[in-house]
Chains A and B, each alone.
Chain A
Amino acid sequence: GAVVSQHPSRVICKSGTSVKIECRSLDFQATTMFWYRQFPKQSLMLMATSNEGSKATYEQGVEKDKFLINHASLTLSTLTVTSAHPEDSSFYICSARNRGHNEKLFFGSGTQLSVL
Protein backbone atom coordinates (compact mmCIF):
# COMPACT_ATOMS: atom_id res chain seq x y z
CA GLY A 1 0.00 0.00 0.00
CA ALA A 2 0.93 3.65 -0.21
CA VAL A 3 3.52 4.81 2.30
CA VAL A 4 4.07 8.22 3.80
CA SER A 5 7.41 8.69 5.49
CA GLN A 6 7.76 11.39 8.13
CA HIS A 7 10.92 12.34 9.93
CA PRO A 8 12.30 12.95 12.35
CA SER A 9 10.13 10.82 14.60
CA ARG A 10 11.27 12.71 17.63
CA VAL A 11 13.07 16.01 18.10
CA ILE A 12 14.10 17.96 21.16
CA CYS A 13 15.15 21.56 20.70
CA LYS A 14 15.86 24.68 22.67
CA SER A 15 13.37 27.50 22.86
CA GLY A 16 13.88 30.01 20.05
CA THR A 17 15.26 27.58 17.51
CA SER A 18 13.54 26.39 14.34
CA VAL A 19 12.68 22.82 13.53
CA LYS A 20 11.93 21.31 10.13
CA ILE A 21 9.76 18.23 9.71
CA GLU A 22 9.71 16.36 6.41
CA CYS A 23 6.86 14.38 4.94
CA ARG A 24 7.45 12.22 1.87
CA SER A 25 5.13 10.06 -0.18
CA LEU A 26 7.36 7.14 -1.10
CA ASP A 27 5.46 5.37 -3.85
CA PHE A 28 2.83 7.77 -5.09
CA GLN A 29 2.33 11.37 -6.11
CA ALA A 30 0.67 13.42 -3.42
CA THR A 31 -1.39 16.19 -4.93
CA THR A 32 -2.44 17.41 -1.51
CA MET A 33 -0.80 17.16 1.87
CA PHE A 34 -2.28 18.03 5.24
CA TRP A 35 -0.53 18.89 8.48
CA TYR A 36 -2.08 18.09 11.84
CA ARG A 37 -1.11 18.71 15.44
CA GLN A 38 -2.14 16.55 18.37
CA PHE A 39 -1.78 17.30 22.06
CA PRO A 40 -1.79 14.48 24.65
CA LYS A 41 -5.15 12.71 24.97
CA GLN A 42 -6.72 14.99 22.38
CA SER A 43 -7.79 14.52 18.81
CA LEU A 44 -5.92 15.64 15.74
CA MET A 45 -6.27 19.30 14.84
CA LEU A 46 -5.84 20.28 11.21
CA MET A 47 -3.28 23.04 10.82
CA ALA A 48 -3.02 23.55 7.08
CA THR A 49 -3.62 22.15 3.63
CA SER A 50 -1.02 22.38 0.91
CA ASN A 51 -1.29 21.65 -2.78
CA GLU A 52 1.87 21.11 -4.77
CA GLY A 53 3.22 24.32 -6.24
CA SER A 54 0.88 26.67 -4.42
CA LYS A 55 0.70 28.39 -1.07
CA ALA A 56 -0.67 26.49 1.88
CA THR A 57 -4.13 27.22 3.24
CA TYR A 58 -4.04 27.60 7.00
CA GLU A 59 -6.87 26.85 9.40
CA GLN A 60 -8.21 29.64 11.53
CA GLY A 61 -5.97 30.41 14.47
CA VAL A 62 -2.84 28.85 13.00
CA GLU A 63 -0.03 31.36 12.50
CA LYS A 64 1.32 31.05 8.96
CA ASP A 65 4.53 32.91 9.84
CA LYS A 66 5.24 30.51 12.65
CA PHE A 67 4.38 27.27 10.87
CA LEU A 68 5.96 27.49 7.43
CA ILE A 69 4.78 24.88 4.95
CA ASN A 70 6.50 24.14 1.68
CA HIS A 71 5.13 21.66 -0.86
CA ALA A 72 7.69 22.01 -3.62
CA SER A 73 7.17 18.64 -5.27
CA LEU A 74 4.54 15.94 -5.57
CA THR A 75 6.40 13.77 -3.08
CA LEU A 76 7.67 16.17 -0.44
CA SER A 77 6.16 18.65 1.97
CA THR A 78 7.93 20.28 4.88
CA LEU A 79 6.69 21.97 8.02
CA THR A 80 9.05 24.37 9.75
CA VAL A 81 8.24 25.47 13.26
CA THR A 82 10.02 28.80 13.56
CA SER A 83 11.24 30.22 16.87
CA ALA A 84 9.78 27.29 18.74
CA HIS A 85 8.54 27.73 22.29
CA PRO A 86 7.50 25.17 24.91
CA GLU A 87 3.82 25.62 24.01
CA ASP A 88 4.65 24.34 20.50
CA SER A 89 5.57 20.98 21.98
CA SER A 90 3.18 18.54 20.39
CA PHE A 91 2.80 15.53 18.10
CA TYR A 92 2.83 16.69 14.48
CA ILE A 93 1.40 14.42 11.80
CA CYS A 94 1.34 14.79 8.05
CA SER A 95 -0.95 13.09 5.60
CA ALA A 96 -1.09 12.84 1.85
CA ARG A 97 -3.71 12.13 -0.73
CA ASN A 98 -2.77 9.75 -3.51
CA ARG A 99 -3.68 11.09 -6.91
CA GLY A 100 -5.02 7.66 -7.80
CA HIS A 101 -7.03 7.13 -4.61
CA ASN A 102 -8.81 10.38 -4.20
CA GLU A 103 -10.89 9.82 -1.11
CA LYS A 104 -8.26 8.09 1.01
CA LEU A 105 -5.58 9.77 3.10
CA PHE A 106 -2.30 8.17 4.06
CA PHE A 107 -0.66 9.33 7.25
CA GLY A 108 2.90 9.61 8.39
CA SER A 109 3.99 8.11 11.70
CA GLY A 110 4.20 11.52 13.35
CA THR A 111 6.90 13.70 14.91
CA GLN A 112 7.03 14.30 18.63
CA LEU A 113 8.42 17.79 19.17
CA SER A 114 9.64 18.77 22.61
CA VAL A 115 10.78 22.36 23.12
CA LEU A 116 12.82 22.99 26.25
Chain B
Amino acid sequence: DAKTTQPNSMESNEEEPVHLPCNHSTISGTDYIHWYRQLPSQGPEYVIHGLTSNVNNRMASLAIAEDRKSSTLILHRATLRDAAVYYCILSESPWDAGGTSYGKLTFGQGTILTVHP
Protein backbone atom coordinates (compact mmCIF):
# COMPACT_ATOMS: atom_id res chain seq x y z
CA ASP B 1 0.00 0.00 0.00
CA ALA B 2 1.20 3.51 -0.78
CA LYS B 3 2.21 5.32 2.40
CA THR B 4 1.58 8.80 3.66
CA THR B 5 3.66 11.08 5.85
CA GLN B 6 2.09 13.58 8.21
CA PRO B 7 3.44 15.77 11.01
CA ASN B 8 2.91 14.20 14.41
CA SER B 9 1.12 17.23 15.80
CA MET B 10 -0.07 20.72 14.97
CA GLU B 11 -1.63 23.51 16.93
CA SER B 12 -4.09 26.19 16.01
CA ASN B 13 -6.13 28.92 17.59
CA GLU B 14 -9.88 28.91 17.50
CA GLU B 15 -11.48 30.57 14.47
CA GLU B 16 -8.20 30.56 12.54
CA PRO B 17 -7.61 28.47 9.40
CA VAL B 18 -5.66 25.25 9.70
CA HIS B 19 -3.64 23.63 6.94
CA LEU B 20 -2.80 19.98 7.57
CA PRO B 21 -0.18 18.66 5.14
CA CYS B 22 0.27 15.14 3.84
CA ASN B 23 3.00 13.73 1.63
CA HIS B 24 2.33 10.71 -0.54
CA SER B 25 5.18 10.61 -3.02
CA THR B 26 4.54 6.98 -4.07
CA ILE B 27 0.88 7.50 -4.93
CA SER B 28 -0.36 5.62 -7.97
CA GLY B 29 -2.71 6.89 -10.61
CA THR B 30 -5.73 5.07 -9.19
CA ASP B 31 -5.21 5.94 -5.52
CA TYR B 32 -7.80 8.14 -3.88
CA ILE B 33 -6.70 10.55 -1.15
CA HIS B 34 -8.88 10.29 1.93
CA TRP B 35 -9.00 12.28 5.15
CA TYR B 36 -10.64 10.98 8.28
CA ARG B 37 -10.51 12.29 11.82
CA GLN B 38 -10.90 10.57 15.16
CA LEU B 39 -11.96 12.00 18.48
CA PRO B 40 -10.89 10.19 21.68
CA SER B 41 -12.72 6.91 22.29
CA GLN B 42 -14.69 7.20 19.06
CA GLY B 43 -14.54 5.67 15.62
CA PRO B 44 -13.07 7.72 12.79
CA GLU B 45 -15.25 10.19 10.94
CA TYR B 46 -15.08 10.84 7.21
CA VAL B 47 -13.88 14.33 6.36
CA ILE B 48 -13.22 14.49 2.64
CA HIS B 49 -11.66 12.62 -0.25
CA GLY B 50 -10.45 13.34 -3.77
CA LEU B 51 -8.60 11.94 -6.72
CA THR B 52 -7.09 14.76 -8.78
CA SER B 53 -9.08 17.96 -8.42
CA ASN B 54 -9.45 20.09 -5.32
CA VAL B 55 -12.57 19.31 -3.33
CA ASN B 56 -14.78 21.32 -1.01
CA ASN B 57 -17.49 20.22 1.38
CA ARG B 58 -19.17 21.64 4.44
CA MET B 59 -16.43 20.36 6.74
CA ALA B 60 -13.23 21.18 4.88
CA SER B 61 -11.37 21.66 1.64
CA LEU B 62 -8.83 19.35 0.08
CA ALA B 63 -6.06 20.84 -2.01
CA ILE B 64 -4.22 18.28 -4.15
CA ALA B 65 -0.86 19.11 -5.70
CA GLU B 66 -0.66 18.95 -9.46
CA ASP B 67 1.70 15.95 -9.32
CA ARG B 68 -0.53 14.38 -6.62
CA LYS B 69 2.46 13.69 -4.42
CA SER B 70 1.10 15.84 -1.63
CA SER B 71 -2.16 17.23 -0.40
CA THR B 72 -3.42 19.64 2.23
CA LEU B 73 -6.56 19.46 4.32
CA ILE B 74 -7.87 22.93 5.05
CA LEU B 75 -10.16 23.71 7.93
CA HIS B 76 -11.29 27.24 7.21
CA ARG B 77 -12.16 28.26 10.77
CA ALA B 78 -11.02 25.87 13.47
CA THR B 79 -13.30 25.26 16.42
CA LEU B 80 -12.62 23.43 19.65
CA ARG B 81 -14.65 20.53 18.27
CA ASP B 82 -12.11 20.14 15.48
CA ALA B 83 -9.45 18.95 17.94
CA ALA B 84 -8.80 15.37 16.87
CA VAL B 85 -6.33 13.05 15.18
CA TYR B 86 -6.45 13.61 11.43
CA TYR B 87 -5.52 10.76 9.15
CA CYS B 88 -4.47 11.10 5.52
CA ILE B 89 -4.95 7.77 3.76
CA LEU B 90 -4.58 6.42 0.24
CA SER B 91 -6.80 3.76 -1.16
CA GLU B 92 -7.43 2.15 -4.51
CA SER B 93 -10.77 2.43 -6.20
CA PRO B 94 -13.07 0.03 -4.38
CA TRP B 95 -14.17 -1.93 -7.39
CA ASP B 96 -12.00 -4.20 -9.44
CA ALA B 97 -12.84 -5.51 -12.88
CA GLY B 98 -14.59 -8.51 -11.40
CA GLY B 99 -16.88 -6.37 -9.25
CA THR B 100 -15.37 -7.45 -5.95
CA SER B 101 -15.17 -4.63 -3.48
CA TYR B 102 -11.86 -3.88 -1.86
CA GLY B 103 -10.33 -0.44 -1.44
CA LYS B 104 -9.36 -0.97 2.18
CA LEU B 105 -8.01 1.96 4.13
CA THR B 106 -4.70 1.53 5.91
CA PHE B 107 -4.25 4.14 8.62
CA GLY B 108 -0.92 5.80 9.40
CA GLN B 109 -0.09 7.63 12.61
CA GLY B 110 -1.98 10.79 11.74
CA THR B 111 -1.63 14.36 12.99
CA ILE B 112 -2.86 15.33 16.43
CA LEU B 113 -4.53 18.72 16.05
CA THR B 114 -4.82 20.86 19.17
CA VAL B 115 -7.09 23.89 19.02
CA HIS B 116 -6.57 26.64 21.58
CA PRO B 117 -9.44 28.86 22.70
Q: Is B7 an interface residue (CB 8 A)?
A: no
B87 smallest CB distance to A (angstroms):
7
Q: Bound state CA distance, A11 and B22, in angstroms?
A: 36
A34 in contact with B42 given A103-B49, A103-B94 (CB within 8 Å) = no
Residues from chain A with Cβ under 8 Å of B102 in the complex: 32, 49
Alpha-carbon distance A93/B100, docked complex (angstroms): 22
Give residues of chain A (61-86) contacting chain B, Cβ–Cβ below 8 Å: none
Q: Are A104 and B49 in contact (CB under 8 A)?
A: yes
B85-117 interface bits toward A, Cβ cutoff 8 Å, 1 = contact, 0 = none: 001000101110000111111111110000000
Residue B68 interfacial (CB < 8 Å):
no
Q: Do A51 and B101 have beta carbons less than 8 Å apart?
A: yes
CB within 8 Å for A46 and B44 given contacts A51-B100, A103-B32: no
> Which residues of A does B touch, CB under 8 Å?
4, 6, 31-32, 34, 36, 43-46, 49, 51, 91, 93-95, 97, 102-110, 112
Where the two chains meet, the residues of B that have a C-beta atom closer than 8 Å to any C-beta of A are: 32, 34, 36, 38, 41-46, 49, 87, 91, 93-95, 100-110
